[in-house]
């Protein structure tokens, strides 16, 4: 039976590329989506037509009850995932002085709370199996900070701390926990940004592609990364070293 990889926020952008890559690597992929059901279904059809295996799974990562309601029956029938990629994320940018309660808590709850809700539900089976890979998608903003993104940076730095602590807690069960921290990547999330201007601040002179992030996740999920845990892999064109 194929190993299973759960990818949150896999309907679009980076998550979609990660799901496609892990399917190519031979995993059966649970393709989580929030609002973009059609996109998630079309990705699953693409994966299946290419000979892979995938199923769309809708839930809001920020809603603990919805996460449980969607994942527990799947885990009961197919087993806990071997790989969990916490990728779903949002931005609600603005200067801190103008950041309201909803912008603060919404971003923290989706980006960091989502990691908690999803990992918690999957972890019991992974612990019992004594193997697994957890990868969280953080951001260069969580490492270096970025004006206008105090809420987002807090959520992404929080993921780094959470992953390092969890890595220490569960290393004895042979489960690794790592972080991929992208710089600018060409997706809907950055489509409003002045790309040419911002690319000048990237030593490699360009935005990254979703496939470049997916390649890093594929490596960390694979057998060859078995001795790597608690690490943050920057995939950022040199923006932060």
Residues in touch with ligand NAP (CB under 6 A): 8-9, 11-15, 32-36, 60-62, 87-90, 110, 137, 139, 182, 184-185, 187-190
What is the closest distance, in whole angstroms, from the C-beta atom of residue 166 to ligand NAP in the complex?
Answer: 17
What is the closest distance, in whole angstroms, from the C-beta atom of residue 1 to ligand NAP in the complex?
Answer: 27
Sheet of 232-235, strand order: 53-58, 28-33, 4-7, 83-86, 132-137, 175-182, 232-235
What is the closest distance, in whole angstroms, from the C-beta atom of residue 173 to ligand NAP in the complex?
Answer: 26
What is the closest distance, in whole angstroms, from the C-beta atom of residue 232 to ligand NAP in the complex?
Answer: 12
Cβ distance to ligand NAP smaller for residue 9 or 132: 9
What is the closest distance, in whole angstroms, from the C-beta atom of residue 227 to ligand NAP in the complex?
Answer: 26
Q: Is 95 exposed, middle or buried (0-12, 13-18, 19+ CB in 10 A)?
A: exposed
Cβ distance to ligand NAP smaller for residue 13 or 132: 13
Question: Between β-strands 132-137 and 83-86, what pairing exists: parallel, antiparallel or unpaired?
Answer: parallel
Do residues 87 and 7 lie in contact, with contact meaning Cβ atoms separated by under 8 Å? yes
Active-site annotation holder among 27, 33, 152, 227: 152
Largest CA distance in the chain: 52
Cβ distance to ligand NAP smaller for residue 11 or 229: 11
Cβ distance to ligand NAP smaller for residue 8 or 229: 8
Cβ distance to ligand NAP smaller for residue 39 or 78: 39
**Annotation marks residue 152 as catalytic:** yes
Hey, how many other C-beta atoms are within 10 angstroms of the C-beta on 49?
8
Do residues 118 and 61 lie in contact, with contact meaning Cβ atoms separated by under 8 Å? yes
> What six digits make up the tokens of 72?
């527990």
What residues are labeled active site? 152
């Amino acid at each position: 039976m194929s190993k299973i990889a759960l990818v949150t926020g896999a309907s679009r952008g980076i998550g979609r590329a990660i799901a496609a890559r892990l399917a190519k690597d031979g995993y059966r992929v649970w393709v989580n989506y929030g609002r973009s059901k059609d996109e998630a279904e079309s990705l699953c059809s693409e994966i299946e037509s290419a000979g892979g295996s995938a199923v769309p799974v809708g839930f809001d990562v920020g809603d603990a009850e919805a996460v449980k309601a969607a994942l527990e029956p799947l885990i009961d029938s197919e087993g806990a995932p071997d790989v969990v990629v916490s990728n779903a994320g949002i931005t609600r940018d603005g200067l801190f002085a103008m950041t309201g309660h909803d912008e603060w808590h919404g971003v923290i709850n989706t980006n960091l709370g989502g990691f908690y809700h999803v990992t918690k539900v999957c972890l019991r089976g992974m612990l019992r199996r004594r193997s697994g890979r957890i990868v969280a998608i953080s951001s260069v903003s969580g490492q270096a900070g970025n004006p206008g993104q105090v809420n987002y940076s807090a959520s992404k730095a929080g993921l780094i701390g959470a992953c390092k602590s969890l890595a220490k807690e569960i290393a004895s069960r042979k489960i690794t926990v790592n972080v991929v921290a992208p710089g600018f990547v060409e997706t809907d999330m950055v489509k409003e940004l002045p790309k040419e201007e911002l690319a000048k601040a990237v030593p490699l002179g360009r935005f990254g592609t979703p496939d470049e992030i997916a390649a890093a996740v594929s490596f960390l999920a694979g057998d060859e990364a078995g001795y790597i845990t608690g690490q943050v892999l920057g995939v950022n064109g040199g923006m932060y070293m």
